[in-house]
Structure 1
């Protein structure tokens, strides 16, 4: 008897990495899972979520970086705004590379064309297309998969670049314990301390009560480490 072959589960790899970085983002998770579940039977749903995921990713990046987001911005405009913060065209040492910059500019134009194509197809074949005839033929599932893979590629480039920069330039929004080495540095110099029989760590208390002070100290910590200096907490070594 021939064993049944289980259908392959469709997954957006880069989008899944975004979910791991923002586990609290139920909206992103809902969008990614809805797209994955719709493949290949509901191509209209897939196309609709392609645009939504790109826009949500861009808004997440801009918010992480403390940038104002205009509610009227869509697809291409959101990608262009994100690019201003991602410093594409620089080497690992932070130095600008003219040839890399030229290639990156071409890449950005290509990304915007991809996004434009996704929006145009979504407006005609998406499940929420305006004024679609109830008997209009469905989009071929092959096109839906191509659009989904393209969406995943766009998300991957934007979000991985975003996270790479966050190592040196702490974001305006991030979870506690994202920078574990800094938390250990703070905790080694201060605390822990007890309040009503509850022991609190200094790093978590600072993060929770004054995030801007926490972030400012984190930036100084990163800058000192970058210049080869050994950071020293003010309370470290106190008797």
Structure 2
């Protein structure tokens, strides 16, 4: 094994999770791989891609949620709008924790400051900065790595929270097989069938032919689950 630290590829863990979740998105793959390959020799490109990846992530979250996006919004505004759809301070069962929420809100304010700093440094030192002198010094690679890691932290909080809440609150855009328990319910109710000797799966057929009908039934399925869970909870004193 090569012991030279410089031989170890630079990787953004949370950004890679985003890439895996949207493996069909060539735009996300291009941005993540370009940032990673730019470290440490091209710090100006790293800074530029930090801002780009944050904006792409937020736009992805907003589109997943069916929200409209103003083309003039930049990273800080996109984060603010994305957070409106993310239930910070909730556990995996959707139960709110006031202390956790308070701490996360403080963390978000810090992330907003980080994002604003990335935007300012990108405008001054990014490879796409306007009007830079040809002989102006390059940004120190150490700062580029700090911003890349900070960007990964922002993506980690936003996108992981987004995916976690998606199971309880079905997105406006998602893939078939993201809700296997619902698919199993549909398939159990309607069973397999054939068209011209071709076997078809009921849940997949519904998803492919009428996504809105599939999503409406999924929302009702989740609501029924919540009501059943509430009804099953023991009452005080029982």
TM-score by length of 2: 0.91
Shift of 1:183: 1.1
In the other structure, the counterpart of 1:32 is 32
Alpha-carbon separation, structure 1, partners of 2:3 and 2:218: 54
Misfit runs of 4+, over 6 Å: none
In the other structure, the counterpart of 1:72 is 72
- Count of equivalent residues: 228
In the other structure, the counterpart of 2:17 is 17
Alignment gaps of 5+ in structure 1: 230-239
CA RMSD of the aligned region, Å? 1.7
Matched, 1:138 2:123: no
Matched, 1:195 2:188: no
Shift of 1:94: 3.2
Which stretch of structure 1 is more off in the superposition, 93-102 or 146-155?
A: 93-102
Shift of 1:4: 6.9
In the other structure, the counterpart of 1:113 is 113
Which stretch of structure 1 is more off in the superposition, 54-63 or 204-213?
A: 204-213
Alpha-carbon separation, structure 1, partners of 2:192 and 2:114: 51
Alignment gaps of 5+ in structure 2: 230-238
TM-score by length of 1: 0.90
Alpha-carbon separation, structure 2, partners of 1:23 and 1:181: 22
Shift of 1:113: 0.3
Alpha-carbon separation, structure 2, partners of 1:20 and 1:93: 24
SS at structure 2 position matched to 1:139: coil
Shift of 1:91: 4.1
1:188-235 CA deviation, whole Å, 9 max, x = no partner?
A: 221322222322111111001111111111122222223337xxxxxx
